[in-house]
Amino acid sequence: MNLTEEFISQRLREAIQSAGPSSDGYAELELTEETRLKCAAVLVPLARQDGEWHLLFTRRTDHVESHKGQVSFPGGACDEGESTPEQTALREAEEEIGIRLSDVRILGRLANLITISYFRVTPVVGVVKWPNVFRVGEHEVARVFTIPLGWLANASNRWQFEMGEKKRSVIAYHPYDGELLWGATARMTVDFLRVLGY
């Protein structure tokens, strides 16, 4: 498959026009006035490395408030005054791993994902300059690494299981370079792969 930036951007546009929000398996969440969804965005960073596309991930430190030690995309909650998911995703990426705005070409968005922690997360897909020098926010990020898109697209590298009393469906990947990708970040990854036609 010839994945040019133009092709990826076109597929993202087509998918967002026809998609409703993904719920990460939590469609049964009961939303009340007290559990209003909170705004968040992540950057889904694509990097061209050794002739193939990779996705860039971070592993969170054990010092952060939530999701300690988990693999994630750079991102977080919207700040007051931010009017687009792109603003949030790019600000968070700069804060967490030092990616400058000028080093990212935005290609589009994936459908919103609603998490069990009541965040409505908008994944923003962008190509990052590669190679790049990362300035890691040491309180939040323990490691920055990439996984080849081809490996992520291979269905034999992932599995699905049910978790909790409500038997919520969870996606997980087999470990790659010692890192375990699962949960909402794995769901976003699979959503992106499906948009591309994998």
CATH number at residue 53: 3.90.79.10
**pLDDT (0 to 100) of residue 23:** 47
Residue 47 lies in a domain: yes
Residue 158 lies in a domain: no
Residue 176 lies in a domain: no
> Rounded distance, CA 130 to CA 48, Å?
7
Q: How many separate domains does the chain show?
A: 1
Residue 51 lies in a domain: yes
**pLDDT (0 to 100) of residue 126:** 98
Does the pTM surpass 0.75? The reply is: yes
**pLDDT (0 to 100) of residue 104:** 98
Residue 11 lies in a domain: yes
Answer for the pair 179, 145: CB distance below 8 angstroms, yes or no. Answer: yes
Q: Which two tokens stand for residue 182?
A: 């699962």
Enumerate residue ranges in the chain where pLDDT < 50: 23-28
Task: List the one residue out of 87, 101, 107 whose CA is nearest residue 44.
Answer: 107
- Relative to beta strand 75-77, strand 52-60 is unpaired
Residue 21 lies in a domain: yes
**pLDDT (0 to 100) of residue 25:** 44
Domain with 43, as residue range(s), is 5-27+35-148
